[in-house]
Chain A
Amino acid sequence: MDKKLQVKGLTISFKTREGKVQAVRNIDFDLNRGETLAIVGESGSGKSVTSKAILGILAGNSIVENGEILYDGKDLLKISEDEFHKIRGDKIAMIFQDPMSSLNPIARIGKQLTEAMILKGKARQKESRTSFNTYLAKLREEMKTIIPQEEAVRKCHDFDKFEYKHLELESAYNRAHEAATEAIDDIDALCFELGKKGAKDVRYRVGRIRSLSMASVQEYVVKEDADALKATAASLPRLARAAGNNIDNEPLVVALRAIGEILKKAVALEQPNFFALGYYSVFSGQAIPALPVAELNKSMRSYLDDHFMLDFIENVTLALRKSAEKTADNMRRAVDLIGEVRPLFTAETLDKGKTYAALKTLGAAVSASIDPLAITKDSLSYTFESAFRSELDRYFSGFSGNVREQKRFDRQTAKQNRQRARGKEPSWTVVEPSLVDFDLVKSNLLAQLDRTAAHYREALDAADSRDFREEAVAVIDYLKDCASGVVLKVTKQMAKNKAIKLMEEVGISEPRKRFRQYPFEFSGGMRQRIVIAIALAANPDILICDEPTTALDVTIQSQILELINKLKKERRLSVIFITHDLGVVANMADRIAVMYAGKIVEYGTSEDIFYHSAHPYTWALLSSMPDLDSTDRLDAIPGSTPDMLYPPKGDAFAERNKYALKIDFERQPPMFRISDTHYAATWLLHPNAPKVEPPKAVTDRINRMKQKREAQNDGE
């Protein structure tokens, strides 16, 4: 599993007049690609704060006290706002709890939906162009060392040139092909409704089908039947007028079906190899021969291979190998250097001058060990210097800071004691001094050094088994992707079409009319759908859903959950799903983290949490929600969440916990391991703790569910 996002030791507090409110207290989790992680907890448990930290939109009075959030090799807590612009919305999107506050009240829905698409489209074009150009430039530099300079330059230039021709051809094909598929869908839907005599907007829809089928006439899509298609399509508006109010729509249906047949045939045709076609049409100087697609592909492919591709791949392979060898040397050097400076960090107290000097040389060595031609970035090397430096800074700031904190603590304790001596119970508590633990920081530093060295050794060991030819093909695919990003221009019309499609997809009826309305004209559920559509518009990697369905009713909720699930599967999207309702996440979540008072109290796969939950808080959550079979009085959780200005000394849930032990009020429980995937922080799991059974409501439900499942299986 590749980890998409890692959160380590995250601690966030908010500065208020009364003191520091500790919203998130030392949480760790990671998110794999294509997985859903559900974070469940009551309001005020810090789940929203965590998600906002990931997106870099914490409130101004927040302090990130500790921890890191790694995404794509970058620590999101440390990168600049400019870098964040590339990630926020585009790579990590968020659906907020309250739709009204995330929509602009004075802009039309259509504008808000398309705005980001158009802007991001432009940005993507620009970014793809830069990454294409920079990578090609790097490749050229590397190739120059292998083959004569002019040849390297010429080859890269040629590649650049025909790659653009390829995309021109392909995008023309794609436009026609897409129009055809869309027309087929529309025709099917319309024919169905006409058959039932319940079609609406017939004339508009027929017009759209007409223009779509006209657009699908292209050399490799609808070619032979083009005339027949055009003739039938031209007659459509007349037929639609004649059909009027669904009275006599037989001729219209016949015409539509005829068009549908032609398009279906066209869509099923084989797709030509435009990559090879592009090369042929640029460099052969001849027109593309009119052959059947299969033969055409074969001849074009062999032409491309003979004249350019095989040779080019060979060169790229060599360049990659060379660059990898260079990097390997640097890695060896870095490993040696780490070995040299390591003793500096094992000393009793670190030497400020020496350690910073070591960091400087080390940083240079590590950044030299990044292969310029690697497509996926080596995250560890990229973050090495900044992460190491911040840890070092923390260490040295501790010398003065610890004294100051200790003084404050002593002063306040003395004041309290004085009050107590006068017989008055002070109404305030003293915040524990936040001291830098020197040993912990030192061990962190050493761990990072060791981790980096081990990582390099691993890479060096694996170097022999690398297949550079395969990598060369991957490089060419990468360049192709970049190039297609450049030609993919998002026009207003395209954005509008896509927006209307998205609106339909999230279940908004009459999207064309809705497109021109303002947010206040929508009901709560509809607004939330708009917000989801906006979030999905950018095709993000990670989708953070902050209570997206809380305000929606069951059908819509399950539609939206299905939608998110579908997108997750199609795009290998990673989802962080934040909710207070455990019932919702059963079909969504792969893993669940239960949060309470800023801490993760239980963590496991959804089976672990629903069938074998171990934390009393999870039990309480499970037993407080009614299901279809519950008739007994619900077990509500008494009281409310603790005041995080003065977090309780022991387990935060102890106050409301009927299973609380004495130790729960005194010491915070550590994470106990139940299985490889399942962890819980409760003293009940301690070997010496008394045996406690989960509440009856929970066990009963599990049994009931089991019976139901068996009945379901029998039924199949």
Chain B
Amino acid sequence: MENNQEVLLRVEHLCQFFGSTKAVNDVSFDVKKGEVFGLVGESGCGKTTTGRSIIKLYDITSGNIYFKGIRIGAGLMSYRVAIREAKKSFKEKAKTADAASRSALKSERDRIIHEQKKQMKAAKYDRKHCDKEYAEQQVALVKGKYLPLISAARGEKQRTLRSEYRNELRKAKKARLVTKIQMIFQDPSASLDPRLTVREIISEGLIIQGEKNKELINQKVDEMLETVGLVREHAGRYQHEFSGGQRQRIGIARSVIMQPELIIADEPVSALDVSIQAQVINLLNDLREHLGLTVLFIAHDLSVVKYFSDRIGVMYFGEMVELASSDELFLNPLHPYTRSLLSAIPLPDPEYEKKRKRITYNPLAEHDYSVDKPTMREIKPEHFVKCNQAEYEKYLAQLK
């Protein structure tokens, strides 16, 4: 993995709280262009919530999400906390201070509040208008492409160009940055509308985007069906006529037809038979190679994640505890939770299995964070672990 690769998705200090439940708490990671980033952890640890926050199904509580360098998600809580802190510290200091320093403190407080409010405003603006900016960009692109052509052309040609231009312009105005991120869901039968034919399911996104050319849509759908290993004739059928693996293929076709740059695959193979799992994983691998897709792969089956991902982030109770390239993670797992997770993988070997001992993870017994709070630290290049200073030294010693 080269370090200078372009970062497609950057998640900074993402927090997603539901009331008092901290589903995701301060998670940061980058996804580089063309790689598969795996997120693992047990059910309820916030992997799916992270995925859904990225695709803006939730308004995030705090943190920033950048896609292709544009901020698409921003939470406000951190700014509010900063303002509160500033007010509080001012109150405390003001008690003892004399008049002169008091006014200095006051102006300092006001400066902080002003700054934070400005940032808050910017975040609110970005959250709401990131798509607008993207659409403006697209419109400008289309205008730049067609307007000179139209003014240069004459007669019949100009007319066709005009209608083409109008069509493209309409689509460009509707363009949404977030549609470049697509999702594949866990349960194929639950995520496909039972009352639509496969063609309708797959073309729905295109139609929403403003495509009106029926022939083009049909042609694209047919192509896509072939890409995912189905045949054209399947387009007229309903989802219940397909087996589980085929349904998941339809789900994949539906997201790939939008020409996404990032696919969030939320447990795409968990609900499938082992033999079918292999078919779907092979398909995803092929698509990734041919279309240069970037994938955020959320799963709990570590063997599959290991096989499929370049880098893996391990989550535990809403927090990222370890992040490394997949080989490194399986070779040198450092965080006790990662170790317990790895020790739970069943292998197809009865004799080995009979001796396998599962390591249990009890955060209270493993860590002492009463004094020194843990942070994400880079132990080795590209290998991050959540630990405090004492643990950091311990892990370093382990690596030697």
**A and B: bona fide binding partners:** yes
Stretch at the interface among A140-148, A364-372, A579-587: A579-587
Nearest Cβ in chain A — how far from B317, in angstroms? 11
Stretch at the interface among B7-15, B27-35, B67-75, B354-362: B354-362
- Contact B341 A554, beta carbon cutoff 8 Å: yes
Using Cβ atoms and an 8 Å threshold, which residues of chain B touch A589? 350
Known contacts A555-B341, A705-B349; A640 and B243 CB within 8 A of each other? yes
Using Cβ atoms and an 8 Å threshold, which residues of chain B touch A523? 43-44
Nearest Cβ in chain A — how far from B269, in angstroms? 10
Known contacts A555-B344, A586-B349, A587-B354; A624 and B43 CB within 8 A of each other? no
Nearest Cβ in chain B — how far from A517, in angstroms? 15
Tell yes or no: B162 within 8 A of A by CB: no
Stretch at the interface among B118-126, B127-135, B169-177, B295-303: B295-303
Tell yes or no: A193 within 8 A of B by CB: yes
Tell yes or no: B364 within 8 A of A by CB: yes
Bitwise interface map of A from 485 to 515 toward B, beta carbon under 8 Å scored 1, else 0: 0000000000000000000000000000000
CA distance A624 to B272 in the complex (A): 13
- Identify B352's interface contact among A621, A630, A709, CB under 8 A: A709
- Contact A553 B42, beta carbon cutoff 8 Å: yes
Tell yes or no: A561 within 8 A of B by CB: yes
- Minimal Cβ-Cβ distance residue in B for A507: B42
Using Cβ atoms and an 8 Å threshold, which residues of chain B touch A628? 302-303, 306, 330, 345, 347
- Minimal Cβ-Cβ distance residue in A for B243: A640
Stretch at the interface among A117-125, A631-639, A674-682: A631-639
Tell yes or no: A13 within 8 A of B by CB: no
- Contact B304 A193, beta carbon cutoff 8 Å: no
CA distance A621 to B277 in the complex (A): 11
Nearest Cβ in chain B — how far from A566, in angstroms? 12
Using Cβ atoms and an 8 Å threshold, which residues of chain B touch A196? 364-365, 368
Using Cβ atoms and an 8 Å threshold, which residues of chain A touch B218? none
CA distance A662 to B43 in the complex (A): 48
- Contact B42 A556, beta carbon cutoff 8 Å: yes
- Identify B348's interface contact among A198, A526, A561, A586, CB under 8 A: A586
Known contacts A43-B244, A626-B307; A607 and B43 CB within 8 A of each other? no
Tell yes or no: B85 within 8 A of A by CB: no
Known contacts A625-B278, A626-B281; A586 and B273 CB within 8 A of each other? no
Tell yes or no: B5 within 8 A of A by CB: no
Nearest Cβ in chain A — how far from B185, in angstroms? 14
Tell yes or no: A73 within 8 A of B by CB: no
Nearest Cβ in chain B — how far from A149, in angstroms? 59
Tell yes or no: A211 within 8 A of B by CB: no
Nearest Cβ in chain A — how far from B63, in angstroms? 24
Tell yes or no: A9 within 8 A of B by CB: no
Tell yes or no: B236 within 8 A of A by CB: no
- Identify A627's interface contact among B271, B279, B347, B365, CB under 8 A: B347
Using Cβ atoms and an 8 Å threshold, which residues of chain A touch B306? 626, 628
Bitwise interface map of A from 572 to 592 toward B, beta carbon under 8 Å scored 1, else 0: 000000001111101101000
Tell yes or no: A557 within 8 A of B by CB: yes
CA distance A284 to B392 in the complex (A): 73
- Identify A554's interface contact among B274, B282, B300, B356, CB under 8 A: B300
Tell yes or no: B328 within 8 A of A by CB: no
Query: Which A551-568 residues have a C-beta within 8 angstroms of B?
Result: 551-559, 561-562
CA distance A43 to B245 in the complex (A): 11
CA distance A622 to B345 in the complex (A): 16
Tell yes or no: A405 within 8 A of B by CB: no
Bitwise interface map of A from 612 to 630 toward B, beta carbon under 8 Å scored 1, else 0: 0000000011101111101
- Minimal Cβ-Cβ distance residue in A for B279: A636
Nearest Cβ in chain B — how far from A194, in angstroms? 11
Tell yes or no: B219 within 8 A of A by CB: no
Size band of the B side of the interface?
Answer: 35 or more
- Contact B303 A627, beta carbon cutoff 8 Å: yes
Nearest Cβ in chain B — how far from A349, in angstroms? 49
- Minimal Cβ-Cβ distance residue in B for A641: B243
Nearest Cβ in chain A — how far from B398, in angstroms? 16
Using Cβ atoms and an 8 Å threshold, which residues of chain B touch A272? none
- Contact A554 B301, beta carbon cutoff 8 Å: yes
- Contact A627 B348, beta carbon cutoff 8 Å: yes
- Contact A583 B364, beta carbon cutoff 8 Å: no
Nearest Cβ in chain A — how far from B188, in angstroms? 13
Tell yes or no: B353 within 8 A of A by CB: yes
- Identify B346's interface contact among A192, A584, A620, A637, CB under 8 A: A584
Using Cβ atoms and an 8 Å threshold, which residues of chain B touch A115? none
Using Cβ atoms and an 8 Å threshold, which residues of chain A touch B353? 586-587
- Minimal Cβ-Cβ distance residue in B for A554: B344
Nearest Cβ in chain A — how far from B347, in angstroms? 6
Tell yes or no: B285 within 8 A of A by CB: yes
- Contact B347 A705, beta carbon cutoff 8 Å: yes
Nearest Cβ in chain B — how far from A190, in angstroms? 12
Using Cβ atoms and an 8 Å threshold, which residues of chain B touch A557? 344, 346
CA distance A625 to B306 in the complex (A): 12
Tell yes or no: B209 within 8 A of A by CB: no
- Contact A561 B346, beta carbon cutoff 8 Å: yes
CA distance A551 to B43 in the complex (A): 10
- Contact A586 B347, beta carbon cutoff 8 Å: yes
Using Cβ atoms and an 8 Å threshold, which residues of chain B touch A624? 274-275, 277-278
CA distance A196 to B274 in the complex (A): 43
- Identify B273's interface contact among A193, A556, A580, CB under 8 A: A580
Known contacts A621-B275, A626-B304; A558 and B350 CB within 8 A of each other? no
Tell yes or no: A610 within 8 A of B by CB: yes
CA distance A321 to B282 in the complex (A): 70
Known contacts A554-B345, A622-B348; A524 and B356 CB within 8 A of each other? no
Known contacts A562-B358, A626-B304; A634 and B281 CB within 8 A of each other? yes
Using Cβ atoms and an 8 Å threshold, which residues of chain B touch A581? 274
Tell yes or no: A427 within 8 A of B by CB: no
Using Cβ atoms and an 8 Å threshold, which residues of chain A touch B330? 628
Tell yes or no: B370 within 8 A of A by CB: yes
- Contact A620 B275, beta carbon cutoff 8 Å: yes
Bitwise interface map of A from 183 to 200 toward B, beta carbon under 8 Å scored 1, else 0: 000000000110011100
Tell yes or no: B351 within 8 A of A by CB: yes
Tell yes or no: A42 within 8 A of B by CB: yes
- Contact A580 B42, beta carbon cutoff 8 Å: no
Query: Which A27-74 residues have a C-beta within 8 angstroms of B?
Result: 42-43
Using Cβ atoms and an 8 Å threshold, which residues of chain A touch B341? 554-555
Using Cβ atoms and an 8 Å threshold, which residues of chain A touch B346? 554, 557-558, 561, 583-584, 586-587
- Identify A630's interface contact among B42, B43, B307, CB under 8 A: B307
Tell yes or no: A237 within 8 A of B by CB: no
CA distance A606 to B354 in the complex (A): 11
Using Cβ atoms and an 8 Å threshold, which residues of chain A touch B301? 553-554
Nearest Cβ in chain A — how far from B249, in angstroms? 12
Nearest Cβ in chain B — how far from A413, in angstroms? 31
- Identify A552's interface contact among B43, B281, B340, CB under 8 A: B43
Using Cβ atoms and an 8 Å threshold, which residues of chain A touch B355? 712
- Contact A705 B352, beta carbon cutoff 8 Å: yes
Tell yes or no: A694 within 8 A of B by CB: no
Using Cβ atoms and an 8 Å threshold, which residues of chain A touch B303? 583, 625-628, 630
- Identify A625's interface contact among B277, B302, B351, B358, CB under 8 A: B277
CA distance A701 to B347 in the complex (A): 10
- Contact A610 B348, beta carbon cutoff 8 Å: yes
- Contact A555 B243, beta carbon cutoff 8 Å: no
CA distance A610 to B349 in the complex (A): 6
Tell yes or no: A398 within 8 A of B by CB: no
Nearest Cβ in chain A — how far from B285, in angstroms? 7
Nearest Cβ in chain B — how far from A703, in angstroms? 11
A-B contact pairs, 14 of them (CB 8 A): A525-B42, A558-B345, A580-B275, A586-B352, A586-B353, A587-B353, A621-B275, A626-B278, A626-B308, A627-B303, A634-B307, A636-B275, A637-B275, A637-B278
Cβ-closest 9 pairs across A and B:
A553-B300, A587-B353, A636-B278, A626-B307, A624-B278, A558-B344, A634-B278, A636-B279, A705-B349
Q: Knowing that A554-B301, A581-B274, A607-B350 are A-B contacts, what are 8 other residue pairs whose CB atoms are under 8 Å apart, sorted by A's residue number?
A: A550-B270, A553-B300, A554-B42, A586-B347, A628-B303, A628-B330, A630-B303, A705-B348
